[in-house]
Amino acid sequence: MEYAAFLIGDDLFAIPVALVQEIGKPVEIFPVPGHDARVAGLVNLRGRTAVALDLRRALLGPEAIARCRERCKFIVLETTSTLPRQARELGLDSHCETLVLLVDEVHGIVDGQRLEFHPPPAHVGERHVEGVMKLGDRLMTLISIPHLIEDLMPRKEELS
């Protein structure tokens, strides 16, 4: 499987490239008042409204965020229904609506077959960390989008 690798601060992260619809330049983000800061806001994707996730806040700790510089790229994800069949056959899943990931920089596309894959370290509790891969002498964290969204979803008791 191929992965889209991106940088947030100095850290490398990756998601399966099949989930990526397009990578683009940032457009204006309209923040949602009083909402979880991991949701950066809403964006106008050529007439379609999409939620943009601030991956810095979702993936990094506060000290790491402070070190980040102002570089932003948009990764637009496929929705569950537009996911290519091959991706679904591999057990990949996305969100039911179009999502935009805000990342600092896109690193490139890497072929997973040549990389060593390790399960998440025992002391990493976050469910959205699916594993760690070695890219040269750097470590790259594999992110699970469904788990990431699950963490951001309003919980049942808040709904009622």
Partner 1 sequence: MQGSVPEGTSSEDVEIQVPAMAPTAATPAVAQAPAVMATAGPATIRIGVDVLDQLLELIGEVVLGRNQLITRHREDPVFKGLSRSITRLHQHVIRTRMQNVGVLFERYRRTVRDLSQQLGKKVEISIDGGELELDRTVLEGLSDPLTHLVRNCVDHGLETAEERSLAGKQVVGTVSLRALHESGQIMIEVEDDGRGIDHERVRVKIVEKGLASIEEAAKLSEKELVGYIFHPGFSTRDVANEVSGRGVGMDVVKTNLVRMGCAVEVSSRPGKGTVVSISIPLTQAMVNSSVISGLIVGIGNHTLAIPQMAVNEVVRLTGEDRRERIEKVHGREVFKLRDKVIPLVHLEDILGIPRTYLTAVGEIGKERRGHLFDRRGGAELDSHDERRRGADRRMRSELLIVLHYKHNWFGVLVDRIVGTEEIVVRRPPELLKGRRVFAGSTILGNGTVSLILDIGGMVEMAGLDFSDRSRVLSAHIGRSSNPEVEQRVVVFSCAEGEYFAIPVNLLSEVDRCTVDDIRRVGSREFIQRHGASIPLLRLDKHLDITAMDPARRSFVVLTPSRLTYPMALVVGKIEGTLVLGEDINTKEADEKGIMGTFFRDGRLISLIDIYSLLHKSDPDRYRTDVRQSLQQCRILLAEDQLFFRQLVVQYFRSHGIRSVLAVVNGREAIEELARNPTGYDVVVSDIEMPVMNGYQLVSMIKSDPRLARIPVMALTSLEGEANMQKGFEAGFDAYEIKLDKDKVLRCLDRLLGTASARNGE
Out of 14, 51, 101, 110, name the contact with partner 1 by CB under 8 A: 51
- Cα–Cα distance measured from residue 40 to residue 100, given in angstroms and rounded to the nearest whole number: 10
- Part of the chain binding partner 1 (CB under 8 A), chosen from 3-11, 93-101, 123-131, 134-142: 93-101
Mask: binding to partner 1, 105-124, rule CB under 8 A, as x and -?
Answer: --------------------
- Part of the chain binding partner 1 (CB under 8 A), chosen from 3-11, 64-72, 126-134, 147-155: 147-155
Q: Which two tokens stand for residue 113?
A: 């077959």
Q: Residues 57, 30, 8, CA angle at the centre, nearest 5°?
A: 25
Q: Which of residues 71-90 bind partner 1 (CB under 8 A)?
A: 80-81
Rounded to 5 degrees, φ, ψ at 71 are -135, 130
DSSP 8-state class, residue 82: G
Identify which of residues 50 and 133 has a Cβ nearer to partner 1 in the complex. 50
Q: Which of residues 10-29 bind partner 1 (CB under 8 A)?
A: 28
* Exposed e or buried b per residue across 76-110, where buried means at least 16 C-beta atoms within 10 angstroms of its C-beta: bbbeeeebeeebeeeebbbbeebbbbbbbeebeeb
Given the rule CB under 8 A, which residues bind partner 1?
A: 28, 30-35, 39, 41-44, 46-51, 80-81, 95-97, 149, 152-155, 158-160
